[in-house]
Chain A
Amino acid sequence: MINDKNSQKIVDHIHNFARKHSLWVLAYGTGCGAIEIPPTMTSRYDAERLGVRGAATPRQADLLLITGYLTTKTLKRVIRVYEQMQDPKYVIGFGSCTINGGMYYDSYNTINALDRYLPVDVYINGCMPRPEAVIAGFTKLQELITAGKADGAAKYKEKLEWYRKNQKNVIPNWTMPEYNW
């Protein structure tokens, strides 16, 4: 039987293997942390070794990097972009700003805690995280995928209403469709 539990497990295993070794990162530099992405992706650190490569559009990407602070203006676009990505999708939050506001905790234009608005799978410590830390973030995500714990996207679907409420709270003029997979 193809659909029984054990074979599903094997299929999942294979899928997870493929997913973790092929993380396509959406090319969206949302904040300062983006400056360490080029070094990570280029010759000195070469994240492509781990199967991490850039993807030009959200449709093709698996991984959204929130590289630091998000202004409300960007948040609106990020939500849109995130929803356009195809399952399974992951989010990595870079540095202090995504965790608790970082140095912009008192700015009127930046959000403080990213996980109120998007499900975050991995946080990387640093301001900004250096390439080693970024790669460590990728490997941590890979571990989570293997363990089947990188389920941010599922959580997002499940708690969509809660996320929407928070999102609408900080984005004054909500002109987006209610959901755009």
Chain B
Amino acid sequence: MSFFDLKGTLSPFSALKQFGRKPHTIQYPKEDKEAADRYRGFHYNEMEDCIGCGNCSTICQNAAIDMVKVEGQEASKGDSGLRPRVDNGRCCWCGLCVDVCPTGSLSLTKDYLYVSDDADSFLFTPGLDNPGGKDNVSFFSTKESSLNDFARIPMPELEGKERIKSFAEVVLGYNEAEARAEASRCISCGLCSEVCPEHMHIPEYINAIAGGNDQDALRIIYDNNPLPEMCGKVCTRRCEDVCAIQTRGEAIAIRWLKRYATETADNAELIREIVNPEIKEANGYKVGIVGAGPSGLTAAYYLALRGFDVSIYESNKQAGGMTMYGIPKYRFPEDSLQKQIDYITSIGVKIHFNTSVGKDISFEEVYKQNDAVFMGVGFLKPWTLGIEGEELKGSEQAVTFLHAANSGLQVDVGDKVAVIGGGNVAIDAARVSARMNAEVTILYRRRVEDMPADWEEIEGAEDEGINIVPQAIPIKFHSDETGRIKSVEYLKAKMVPDEGGGRPKPVPIEGSNTIVEVTAVLGAIGQQGDYSFLKGEFEEKIKTERGRFVVNEFQQTSDPKVFAGGDAVNRTADAISAIADGYRAVKGIEEMLMKKA
């Protein structure tokens, strides 16, 4: 060091020139600097978009988010009715809740200011307590930044050209890695299980699959569904419509995951070993079941587990009902069904095949032999189109056609088939026809997006080269000289918005007559029930309304001893509803008989 450090003494005084500079102080609260565009302040929840899945509450590592009942938010399908409430005495504003919110309704705002002398005033319901937060949203979730995986793991399938060559199953199923990955997308909210008619324990078995516990998954599934492989393959899966992920992306492939879980056991013994059901001792009651369809089988299985003596009367030579005879084999192979039926019979359910109630055995007999009767008779009689030429040769009902095809009978439809209708049956009939080397056209009254069939089925049909003609109303079938159908004449339709707020109606355009050449026409516009087996007093006793049995919450008909389920009861007319009916009826039957005892 020098004797006198002149620079060191004088240089610091350069700081004094700051005196002339304007201070850069932000004079809060006199003046305010707005928080950054991405600031993580208070939460804001778009109440209408929120579905109450509770994923925010799960991710919150501070246990700061409670799901609570909020005034004005009622539970509905796909909405638990609960809304998040943040404890600002816990929150650390990390924003993970925003990043995992599947709907993107939860976000953070620029507001951050709250001071209070009351420690209890820090509970905060976003959206309710800051309705103005909408204009202030700063940290929000986009599909890109979200932690939810919106893309479904693609299901391996046969190529379109490949699959029309045979009736081999189109969907190949997930392998283990794919299933784990797909199951890992699930946020376990359980909204799906609410809309499931059967209320299957969906989050639980998906979690089990995600964790690699496939056998547990199967056990959970069998808790209330004895035909999971069927559901895994052909369920209408309304659960996926309300999937939380589906609000911004592709729903979890719940059906395919169930299918994956059922594949862990490839024969009935293995199922029995894994599920290891507890079978109660015989209680002496007998239950007769009419029809071995899904509802009947379900009722039979759970009744048998509960110690009832169950007999099923089935008119066909195989069990399964519509799932056997209605659903084409490329969707639901026969051995899949057989495996499950084997399992059900293995626990003591007796099935009398080729025993048609009403013909081979009278309903009265069944009624008298058993302590309770369950009817899972289904809708067998197809609706007719009611247009000219319907009785022509080559004009057939799709259901009949499918029944024949599924029974292994040879059906000749020629090389040009027209299918009329837009439901799953229509598509099935079309795709089966395609596999018979026919060129298929589907005529449907409304638009493609209005078709009640599954979108996957429609896509599959398109892949297979099936031509879908929407907004087409058939008016006449023309015949050739042999009396066989030659062509279909239809009118093009325009969509007219419904004034009552319903879906748009097709209105035919006059003079737009178009003719399409065909060798066969398959009508698929719906079915109805055939209750001719109910004779005598039962016709009176068991009430029907609009072609369906009237039942209470336990599927009990107006005759207390008779229960009913399946298509003949519910409006949704799908397998899972039928299973649900069967399951409910079990509870009803048990309640009725055991209480009496």
- Which of B23, B117, B122 contacts A121 (CB under 8 A)? B117
Within 8 A of A (CB), among B69-98: 87-93
Convert A118-135 into 0s and 1s, putting 1 for each residue whose CB lies closer than 8 angstroms to a CB of B. 001111111101111101
Among A5-13, A38-46, A77-85, A169-177, the one that faces the other chain is A38-46
Q: Is the CB of B26 within 8 A of A105?
A: no
Q: Is the CB of B61 within 8 A of A139?
A: no
B25 at the interface (CB under 8 A from A): yes
Q: Is the CB of B92 within 8 A of A45?
A: no
Convert B199-240 into 0s and 1s, putting 1 for each residue whose CB lies closer than 8 angstroms to a CB of A. 000000000000000000000000000000000000000000
CB A167 to nearest CB in B, in angstroms, measures 17
Chain B residues with a Cβ closer than 8 Å to the other chain, count: 29
Q: Is the CB of B122 within 8 A of A100?
A: yes
CB A95 to nearest CB in B, in angstroms, measures 9
- Which of A96, A115, A130, A135 contacts B90 (CB under 8 A)? A96
Measured in the bound complex, the distance between the Cα atoms of B41 and A70 in whole Å is 24
B29 at the interface (CB under 8 A from A): yes
Convert A64-87 into 0s and 1s, putting 1 for each residue whose CB lies closer than 8 angstroms to a CB of B. 000000000000000000000000
Q: Is the CB of B112 within 8 A of A123?
A: no
CB B449 to nearest CB in A, in angstroms, measures 47
Convert B440-451 into 0s and 1s, putting 1 for each residue whose CB lies closer than 8 angstroms to a CB of A. 000000000000
Q: Is the CB of B90 within 8 A of A132?
A: no
Measured in the bound complex, the distance between the Cα atoms of B91 and A103 in whole Å is 7
B63 at the interface (CB under 8 A from A): yes
Convert A128-170 into 0s and 1s, putting 1 for each residue whose CB lies closer than 8 angstroms to a CB of B. 0111110111011000100001000000000000000000000
B264 at the interface (CB under 8 A from A): no
B27 at the interface (CB under 8 A from A): yes
CB A108 to nearest CB in B, in angstroms, measures 16
Q: Is the contact region of chain B dominated by helix, strand, or loop, or is it mixed? A: loop
Using CB atoms, name the residue of chain A closest to B42: A125
Q: Is the CB of A45 within 8 A of B62?
A: no
Using CB atoms, name the residue of chain A closest to B122: A99
Given contacts A44-B26, A100-B122, contact A133 B112 (CB under 8 A): yes
- Which of A46, A101, A114, A140 contacts B115 (CB under 8 A)? A140
Give the residues in chain A near B33, CB-CB below 8 Å. Answer: 132
Given contacts A46-B25, A132-B33, A135-B29, contact A96 B92 (CB under 8 A): yes
- Which of B26, B91, B113, B119 contacts A45 (CB under 8 A)? B26
Q: Is the CB of A123 within 8 A of B29?
A: no
Q: Is the CB of B119 within 8 A of A99?
A: yes
- Which of B25, B32, B115 contacts A123 (CB under 8 A)? B115
- Which of A96, A105, A132 contacts B88 (CB under 8 A)? A96
- Which of A101, A123, A126, A144 contacts B93 (CB under 8 A)? A126
Within 8 A of A (CB), among B92-137: 92-93, 112-119, 122
Q: Is the CB of A136 within 8 A of B29?
A: yes
Using CB atoms, name the residue of chain B closest to A149: B117
Give the residues in chain B near A96, CB-CB below 8 Å. Answer: 62, 64, 88-92
Measured in the bound complex, the distance between the Cα atoms of B409 and A92 in whole Å is 85
Q: Is the CB of A122 within 8 A of B92?
A: no
Q: Is the CB of A105 within 8 A of B112?
A: no
- Which of A100, A114, A144 contacts B117 (CB under 8 A)? A144
Task: Count contacts between A and B, CB distance < 8 Å.
Answer: 103
Q: Is the CB of A125 within 8 A of B122?
A: yes
Most chain B C-beta atoms within 10 Å of own C-beta, residue among A125, A126, A127, A137: A125
Q: Is the CB of B28 within 8 A of A135?
A: yes
Q: Is the CB of A43 within 8 A of B122?
A: no
Give the residues in chain B near A103, CB-CB below 8 Å. Answer: 61-62, 90, 92
Measured in the bound complex, the distance between the Cα atoms of B140 and A96 in whole Å is 22
CB B129 to nearest CB in A, in angstroms, measures 12
Q: Is the CB of B25 within 8 A of A105?
A: no
CB A132 to nearest CB in B, in angstroms, measures 5
Measured in the bound complex, the distance between the Cα atoms of B64 and A114 in whole Å is 17
Give the residues in chain B near A54, CB-CB below 8 Å. Answer: none
Q: Is the CB of B24 within 8 A of A100?
A: no
Give the residues in chain A near B119, CB-CB below 8 Å. Answer: 93, 99-100, 113-115, 120, 123
CB A41 to nearest CB in B, in angstroms, measures 11
A51 at the interface (CB under 8 A from B): no
Measured in the bound complex, the distance between the Cα atoms of B143 and A8 in whole Å is 64
CB B241 to nearest CB in A, in angstroms, measures 37
Give the residues in chain A near B87, CB-CB below 8 Å. Answer: 100
Give the residues in chain B near A121, CB-CB below 8 Å. Answer: 117
Measured in the bound complex, the distance between the Cα atoms of B115 and A93 in whole Å is 10
Give the residues in chain A near B29, CB-CB below 8 Å. Answer: 132, 135-136, 139
Give the residues in chain B near A46, CB-CB below 8 Å. Answer: 23, 25
Q: Is the CB of B112 within 8 A of A126?
A: yes
- Which of B23, B64, B113 contacts A132 (CB under 8 A)? B113
Q: Is the CB of B28 within 8 A of A132?
A: yes
Q: A residues touching B (Cβ–Cβ < 8 Å)? A: 43-46, 49, 93, 96, 98-103, 105-106, 113-115, 120-127, 129-133, 135-137, 139-140, 144, 149
Task: Pick 27 A–B contacts, CB within 8 A, sort by A.
Answer: A44-B26, A45-B25, A96-B64, A96-B88, A96-B89, A99-B122, A100-B122, A101-B90, A103-B62, A114-B119, A120-B119, A121-B117, A123-B118, A123-B119, A124-B115, A125-B114, A127-B93, A130-B112, A132-B29, A132-B32, A132-B112, A132-B113, A135-B29, A136-B28, A139-B29, A140-B115, A140-B116
Q: B residues touching A (Cβ–Cβ < 8 Å)? A: 23-29, 32-33, 61-64, 87-93, 112-119, 122
Inter-chain pairs besides A99-B89, A133-B113, 15 sampled, C-beta below 8 Å: A96-B92, A99-B88, A99-B90, A100-B119, A101-B90, A102-B89, A102-B90, A102-B91, A103-B62, A103-B92, A122-B115, A124-B114, A125-B114, A132-B28, A144-B117
Q: Which 4 A-B pairs have the closest CB atoms?
A: A100-B89, A99-B89, A125-B114, A140-B115
